[in-house]
Structures are given as C-alpha cells and as structure tokens.
Amino acid sequence: MFARSAFRSAAPIKKGIRSYASQGSSGGGIGGVGYAAVAVGAAGAGYYYYTSTQGSPAVPAKINSETAFKGGDQGFISLKLDSIEKINHNTIRMRFDLPEPDMKSGIPVASALVTKYKGPEMEKAVIRPYTPVSDEDDPGHLDFVIKKYPNGPMSTHLHDMTPGQRLDIKGPIPKYAIKENVHDEIALIAGGTGITPMYQVARAIFKNPNDKTKVTLVYGNISEDDILLKKELHELENTYPQRFRAFYLLDNPPEGWTQGKGFINKDLLKTVLPEPQSSNIKIFVCGPPGLYKAVSGGKKSPQDQGELDGKCIPCQRPSEITNIPFRHSERSWIQQGPGLQVLSVCDRRRSK
C-alpha cells in the first residue's frame, strides 16, 4: 500500500514540536579542508559552511570536456550569471551559464556543488554548498534556488549579483547514489530550502523509465508563498499520480487551506508514510536543525550523524544512521520492522 490513508486532508496538527522553516543554529567554520575530504551536507540553503583563507584561484571557465564539474583536484571554475527569477520575498532562482552551450554539469544524483565568495573587506573567503535544481542532463546551464538570510554573506552576495557577473563553483560533492529499484518506496521529509536535494532525488527517479520506486514527500513551510519548486512538484504529482504523493504543512496557512497545519509530528508521519513492515523503505531528511531534532535527531558533526533520537521516528533497534555525506555506512536505523531505513541527506546548519 503506497500510503496508509492516501493523502486525505489532515485535521489541524496539534501544537507541534518546533518551528522549522526559518529557525536554526548558526554553523561553525572549518579551515583548510581539501576537496577530497570535504564532508558537507549540501542542500539548497546549505546550512553547513566553512571558511578558508587559502583557496586556490578559480580556473578559467573554458573546459575541454562535455561535463563541467569533475571533482577531485579540479578546483573552482568561474561561471557567468545568465538570469535571475524572483520566487518570493526572500528567494530567487539563479541560472548560470556552463562554459560551453552543449556542456552538461556532470554531477551525479544525489550530489551538490560548493560556491565561494570573498568580498573586498573580507579576511576569509566564505563557501556554501547548494544543490542545483536544474536537470543534470540540461545542456549549457545550471540553476540554483537561493534563500536570503539576514546578515548572511553568501546569500546576500548571491541576491546582490546581476546578470553578467561571475561566481566560483566546484564539485560535485556526492551524498547518496540513487540506483533504480533498490528501494520499493522512498520518503522525503523536508523543511524550507531542504526541498532542493529532495527534488533532485525525486526527479531522477521519475526520469528513469526503468525505475518503479514510489515516492512520498512531506514538506513544511511557514506560508504558502514559501513553498519552493511548487510548479515542479505539482507536475510530478500530475504525471505520476500512482507513484508520487506530496503532503504540505504550513505554520500560517491561508483561509481555505486543505492540507496540514502546524509541525511535523509522529501522528502525521504515521498517517502519510508507507507501512514500514510492508516494503523496503528509505527515509531522507533535510531541513533546519529543528526538523532534524524532531524527526531523526541532530547531527553530531558534519562527519558523524550521531544518535537517532528524534521524537517523530523512534527506533526499536539502535545502530548507526547512514551518514550523508560524506562517509557511507551500510548500517542504518531500523524502526518498526527490518524494511525501513532513515538517513540524512544534508547537514542543515544555517546558510548565511
């Protein structure tokens, strides 16, 4: 059964565990980290960040290859901003030109890229990870959805950019290798800009005609205007109604809102997620620290997922949650049966 109660309109959620769309702790810095060992969880907002004083200069954008990003010791490449689309009061969609019009990004699913900026008055360069929202096979361009945070040096810089300016970008940073039909069902639990890696995963699954995986999305925001990639998600729902379901929650829903109100909690997840005993299920979580705390427990560090102690998905048999990224562990948390695994696809500290 795809979902126990399908996606019936939920009654107003009881007073929740926490607000997750805009609240989060500030991230710490890691200096001098080589790319091959970078252990960052990168989502659209990129809550984790690090600073560096010894970043190598960006290489020229001309690359003699069909893919732009090769990872390893390639270093940063400089991409030109082509256009900006306003999404809401604090979020934009940015399109960058790849070095050649027929070139593809070359990033696997799921993975992210890191951006670098050093202002004239800044002693250290600031680096943030972001997950592209454009298709990996789209030629000639790369799209990001960027939310602006108060006093955030990177998000402010990106929002201040104008077409024709350039940004240093490198990657990819692999997070979890999506393979067809490995899992019967996948559940995506997202808050705010945590939707970007979730959309990357869902898009890749439905793009593959051989993949029969079913996908459930639970996505929370403050208001209806804060729902990102709404058009793209609705398109997936309409195109794959038997395999994709999206459930939205709002802290401040408008009059007439028929879906969830409040916060993600155990009762909600028990209603909308698949039965763990019925199939091989993997759960991905991406959002602010409050969402992690409630659903799966906060990360101990970028390299260590830490104990799974969330109130929403309790464990029966503790083990070690798969750490994404960077180290991959075959062990995972088991809850209510051997078929369900919970893993984090990003380290969600505040992006600035």
Q: What is the mean pLDDT of residues 300-304?
A: 59
Residues 109 and 190 in one domain: no
Residues 153 and 193 in one domain: no
Binding-site residues, in ranges, read 128-130, 145, 147, 154-155, 196
Residues 324 and 186 in one domain: yes
Q: Is 28 inside a domain boundary?
A: no
Residues 165 and 183 in one domain: no
Binding-site residues for FAD, in ranges, read 128-130, 145, 147, 154-155, 196
- 37 Cβ neighbours under 8 A, 6+ residues apart: 326
Residues 220 and 292 in one domain: yes
Q: Alpha helices, DSSP H only, in the chain?
A: 153-160, 195-207, 230-239, 266-272, 289-295
Last residue of a domain, one of 143, 174, 205: 174
Residues 192 and 249 in one domain: yes
- HEC profile for 128-165? EEECCCCCCCCCCEEEEEEECCCCCHHHHHHHHCCCCC
Instruction: Count structural domains, the chain.
Output: 2
Q: Is 352 inside a domain boundary?
A: no
CA distance 295 to 9: 21
Most confident region among 181-195, 302-316, 318-332 by mean pLDDT: 181-195
The secondary structure of residue 292, as a DSSP letter, is: H
Residue type, 64: N
Residues 164 and 209 in one domain: no
Residues 233 and 334 in one domain: yes
Q: Is 317 inside a domain boundary?
A: yes
Residues 127 and 187 in one domain: no
Give 290 or 332, the one with higher predicted confidence: 290
Residues 166 and 246 in one domain: no
CA distance 7 to 128: 35
When the pLDDT of each residue in the chain is averaged and rounded to a whole number, the result is: 75
pLDDT, tens only, 38-75:
223 344 433 333 334 345 556 555 544 589 999 989 99
Last residue of a domain, one of 124, 158, 174: 174
| CATH assignment of the domain containing 336 | 3.40.50.80
Residues 155 and 106 in one domain: yes
Residue 224 has phi, psi (to 5 degrees) of: -65, -35
Residues 170 and 202 in one domain: no
pTM equals 0.75
For residue 171, pLDDT beyond 90: yes
Q: For the ranges 12-26, 207-221, 235-249, 303-317, which has the lowest average pLDDT?
A: 12-26
Q: Is 29 inside a domain boundary?
A: no
The range of the structural domain enclosing residue 133 comes to 35-174
Residue 67 buriedness (CB in 10 A; 0-12 / 13-18 / 19+): middle
pLDDT band at 312 (very low <50, low <70, confident <90, very high): low
pLDDT, tens only, 138-167:
999 999 999 999 988 999 999 999 999 999
